[in-house]
Structure 1
Amino acid sequence: MSEVEVVGPAALPGLQAQVEQILAEAKNQGATACEVAVSVEQGLSTTVRQREVETVEFNRDQGFGITLYVGQRKGSASTSATGEAAIRETVAAALAIAKHASEDESAGLADAALMARDLPELDLYHAWDITPEQAIERALLCEAAAFDTDARIRNADGTSLGTHQGCRVYGNSNGFVGGYASTRHSLSCVMIAESDGQMQRDYWYDVNRQGELLADAASIGRRAAQRAVSRLGARPVPTCEVPVLFSAELATGLFSSFLGAISGGALYRKSSFLEDTLGEQLFPSWLNLDERPHIPRAMGSAAFDGDGLATYAKPFVEGGRLVSYILSTYSGRKLGMPSTANAGGVHNLFVSHGEEDQQALIKRMGRGLLVTELMGHGLNMVTGDYSRGAGGYWVENGEIQFAVQEVTIAGNMRDMFRQIVAVGSDLELRSNIRTGSVLIEKMTVAGS
């Protein structure tokens, strides 16, 4: 396997040839089935701090990972090396692992008849012609705008611009070979505000397949500064049971936890609080969750899953009821169900929402906590018990009163899902999960 000189769509034929070469080598060494993913990627990133350049980094990586089968025995290996010797050695390593592995009746490739055939063009590759000097200039402009926003912005915790492009090809011995090139560009700013002996830190960012469509650098800096300043004077509140409004960027985490709980791996291991809930009413009847994997240029779009099956639009929750688990070929076999073409995860989850934006939901909440920061990983996936450190803003009479810190919010996720009152129209578009702010009827807020 020789070094690939290009990274964009022009790299696809070379990577496809490498996949074919690796599959042939696996067959020659005695594998009964094989799948392989080959990738090449490169990126530029720069970070500035306190009006000075901190880092400028360029990276380029290439390699492949292989999983092969000897009957029902499975072995995997990967390498960043190139060349025919690397292929032979990596295949041999995976084969040695497979020969010593236990048999697994669920192991193996998806059926050949199920492999994706006509792959849609999703327009995921948009190279950004930006030089290191231009990247530094844009990051410095972002930070300068943050400093100029408010005199209480005294320090910076890093402003970073990154641009990444890559190409990946997956193939298997059941006749599938498919690949795509993609890009990801981002700009983030983290600032620190200080007043009366208190310091508060906050951030803002944007990400896009197209660098030219990133939010204006100055606007990102101003938003980061405004968020940091608004947290000055934060304090805990007495322990109470009140409505809680999760901002859109944090609400994605609620639905990400839900996806984890209905994923085949957690279900067949019996480690999910949503085991055996297919068909149950888990959410209010107005709420739907559906996957839309073929949106052009979206961050989560994909034409095929990690098993080579064609992705397709589908609901997971309809009218509040769970109508589908999230299954790969392997987890589906473990559960006696067909794959949902979700090996590797869900692509572009959409959460149904109303017409009220976050401000309208604050008014509707009346009294409670707007959560804009979460700390720790306090979810017990087996029981659904949820407890996390939080920060945000206290609301009285439908208006924000003061910033809140050093509190814990707690509940059980099954109760939290059922008690969703509304999903806002302020959609988070930077994530694989598109949701607005989420208002939950009541949670325990533990403070002073």
Structure 2
Amino acid sequence: MTPLSTPSLSDLSHALLEAARRAGAETADALAVQGTAVSIEIRKGALETAERSEGVEIGLRVLIGRRQACVSASDTSTATITALAERAVAMAREAPEDPNAGLADASQLATAWDLAALDLADPAGEPGAAVLEASAREVEAAALGSAGITQVEASAAYSQRSLHMAATNGFSGGYGRTSTSLSAVAFTGSGTDMQRDYAGEGRIYALDMPSPLEIGRLAAERTLQRVGSVKPKTGTFAVVYDERVAASLVGHLLSAINGSSIARGSSWARDLLGKQVLPAGMSLIEDPHRSRIGSSRPFDGEGLATRRREIVADGVLTGWVLDLATGRKLGMPSTANAMRGTSAPPSPSTTNIDLTQGSVGRDDLLKQMGTGLLVTSMIGSTINPTTGDYSRGASGFWVENGQLAYPVHECTIAGNLKDMLLRIVPANDARAHLSTRVPSILIDGMTLAGA
């Protein structure tokens, strides 16, 4: 699939481990990553950017007792690997002790997985710059075909990434993934009357992508709908978060239950384990094994087998998002949520997320709302991580009698995440191909600051 195949990455990761042992490390893990990326940007009808990058990165974490150090490099020569290991060991000897640092026990490690079932890599391979440029120009032409659109910025990209991880506890495994994407930002008007919006899609398989025509037309349609935007009313109103932005609400909850925040005691969700955080009947499910989805993976950044789990079940928070270190600090097992790069130790993060969908569409939520704000884009964020106080800039459409009345911009939505999440009413319009599938969401009683 790649110029540098996974077996070669395996050789590199094991060479790093051998060098670490020779340098005096007690335990170690190593990561070798190979990547290729091609991107094209079209602006005002001209080729603005054409970039291609490829390379290999290696990373090594060594431990001496409970002292650890991480080093990385982009040179894979034997001399560099030897020097990298010696530097890492020297750094670890000087590092402060971390009682929670350490590799997984052999009994915790993933031992088998089905990469074919995950289907993370498009066998078609790299499309080439000319193909990507043609797609970007199709997107641009489709957007400019709508009367009133004055300018378009279109982009197309392809990337491929393979990795192999190995550790002295016996773990060794790797996989690769691909991504193809197309997007457009369309503009109309000028000066203070200028409006813009975007549309974009990405898939693992190029054949799964919607057509450039669809993407360009949608960017234009969204932009033209913004013409004549005004500030909305100030007061307390219901808000519908469009599916395009609703995932941000779930993102705030996932950040709050991340093991790093919980271990520091700095999260507004620190006392909510086993308590209601969403309405009854709603669940938040993580499933790292969805086929052809960009965040799927067979094992985590510490070699533990990933699995499907209900983070929230029937509205009740069932657990934190943990790697080994945060789990040890909290006296809990890892939830196999470790993520890592080549230059830093693992840290917890989620993969594919699903929020329970409702039984009606977004238009039905608007009718249920009656009067209020439909949010289609958000700018800036002020979230107090300790209290959950929430304030975000937004734009979208004012809704009267359940119907879109006029476009609005330059407003602020405020509330408290603890209370907001308990009041969410979901639609059924989450897009199936997304890693985080969250439908449009209605929340009543939000504070709006506009005109």
CA deviation digits over 1:398-420, x for unaligned, max 9?
A: 00000110100000000110111
2:112 paired residue among 108, 118, 140: 118
1:372-391 matched pairs, under 5 angstroms: 372-391=376-395
Q: 1:173 is matched by which residue type in structure 2?
A: T
Please point out which of 427, 440, 451 is paired with 1:424. Answer: 427
Cα deviation for residue 276 of structure 1 reads 2.5
Q: State whether structure 2 residue 359 is matched by structure 1 residue 355.
A: yes
Give yes or no for contact 2:37–2:159 (8 Å, CA) kept in 1: yes
Q: Which residue of 2 aligns with 1:130?
A: 127
Distance in 2 between residues matched to 1:442 and 1:353, nearest whole Å: 21
Q: Take 1:7 and 1:262, find their aligned partners in 2: how far apart are those partners?
A: 37
Q: 1:185 aligns with which of 180, 183, 189?
A: 180
Specify which of 54, 64, 69 is matched with residue 58 of structure 2: 64
Alpha-carbon distance between aligned partners in 1 of 2:289 and 2:308, rounded to the nearest angstrom: 8
SS of 1:203's partner is strand
Q: 2:448 aligns with which of 422, 441, 445?
A: 445
| Superposed displacement of residue 429, structure 1 | 4.1
Is residue 186–residue 196 contact of structure 2 (8 Å, CA) maintained in 1?
Answer: yes
Q: Secondary structure at the match of 1:15?
A: helix
Aligned partners of 2:387 and 2:227: how far apart in 1?
36
Which of residues 319, 323, 340 is equivalent to 2:318?
323
Give 2:22's aligned amino acid: N
Paired amino acid for 1:353: Q
Q: Secondary structure at the match of 2:327?
A: helix
Cα distance, 1:209 vs. partner? 0.1
Pair 1:101-2:95 in alignment: yes
* Consecutive unaligned residues in structure 1, runs of 5 or more: 1-5
Percent of counterpart pairs with the same letter? 36
What per-residue deviation string (whole Å, max 9, x for no partner) do you get for residues 35-84 of structure 1? Answer: 11100110211111122211111110211111110111010111111201
Show CA shifts across 1:184-236 (max 9, x none): 11000001011796110100000000012111001100000000110011111
Question: How far apart, CA to CA, are the structure 2 residues paired with 1:336 and 1:72?
Answer: 17
Partner of 1:140: 137
Give CA deviations for 1:341-395 in whole Å, capped at 9, x if unaligned: 1112212111101121212211121111011111112111111010011101000
Q: Is the 8 A contact 2:177 2:294 kept in 1?
A: no
2:259 is equivalent to residue 264 of structure 1: yes
**Distance of aligned partners of 1:400 and 1:195 in 2 relative to their CA distance in 1, 3 Å threshold:** farther
CA-CA distance at 1:240 after TM superposition: 1.0
Give 1:105 shift.
1.1
In the TM superposition, residue 155 of structure 1 has moved relative to its aligned partner by: 1.6
**Which range is displaced more, 392-401 or 122-131?**
122-131
Match of 2:81 in 1: 87
Q: Is the 8 A contact 1:249 1:428 kept in 2?
A: no
Indicate the larger mover: 127-136 or 206-215.
127-136
Query: Secondary structure at 1:190's aligned position in 2?
Result: strand
Alignment partner of 1:254 out of 236, 249, 252: 249
Q: Distance in 2 between matches of 1:431 and 1:222?
A: 21
**Do the aligned residues in 1 keep the contact of 2:14 with 2:30 (CA within 8 Å)?**
no
Select which of 233, 239, 243 maps to 1:238.
Answer: 233
8 Å CA contact 2:293, 2:434 repeated in 1: no
Q: 1:280 and 2:284 equivalent?
A: no
Residue 128 of structure 1 contacts residue 210 of structure 1 at CA under 8 Å; is this kept in 2?
Answer: no
Q: CA RMSD in A?
A: 1.4
Aligned equivalents of 2:69, 2:262: Cα separation in 1: 23
Amino acid at match of 2:54: R
What is the distance in 2 between the residues matched to 1:327 and 1:446? Answer: 37
* Aligned residue type for 2:291: P
Instruction: State whether structure 2 residue 213 is matched by structure 1 residue 209.
Output: no
Kindly indicate whether the alpha-carbon contact (under 8 Å) linking 2:394 and 2:413 is maintained by their aligned counterparts in 1.
Answer: yes
Scaled by the length of structure 1, what TM-score is found? 0.96
Partner of 1:3: none
**Inter-CA distance 165–196: structure 2 relative to 1 (3 Å threshold):** closer
The amino acid across from 1:423 in the alignment is: P
Aligned residue type for 2:151: N
CA contact (8 A) 1:363 1:397 kept: yes
Deviation at 1:123, TM superposition (A): 1.1
**C-alpha contact 1:389 1:406 (8 A) present in aligned 2:** yes
1:392 maps to 2:396: yes
Query: Does the CA contact (< 8 Å) of 1:195 and 1:232 recur in 2?
Result: no
Question: Which letter does structure 1 place at the counterpart of 2:431?
Answer: E
SS in 2 for 1:378: strand
Q: Which amino acid is 2:389 matched to?
A: D
What is residue 435 of structure 1 aligned with on the other side?
Answer: 438
Whole-angstrom distance in 1 between the partners of 2:17 and 2:145 = 57
Aligned 1:170-181 pairs, distance under 5 A? 170-181=165-176
| 2:126–2:158 CA contact under 8 A, matched in 1 | no
Task: Report the CA distance between 1:428 and its aligned residue.
Answer: 3.4
Distance 1:252 1:308 in 2: 28
Relative distance call for 1:353 and 1:308 in structure 2 (3 A) is same
1:407 maps to which of 404, 411, 430:
411
Q: 1:284-299 residue pairs with structure 2 within 5 A?
A: 284-299=279-294
Aligned-partner residue type, residue 28 of structure 1:
R
Q: Secondary structure at the match of 2:189?
A: strand
How high is the TM-score relative to the length of structure 2?
0.95
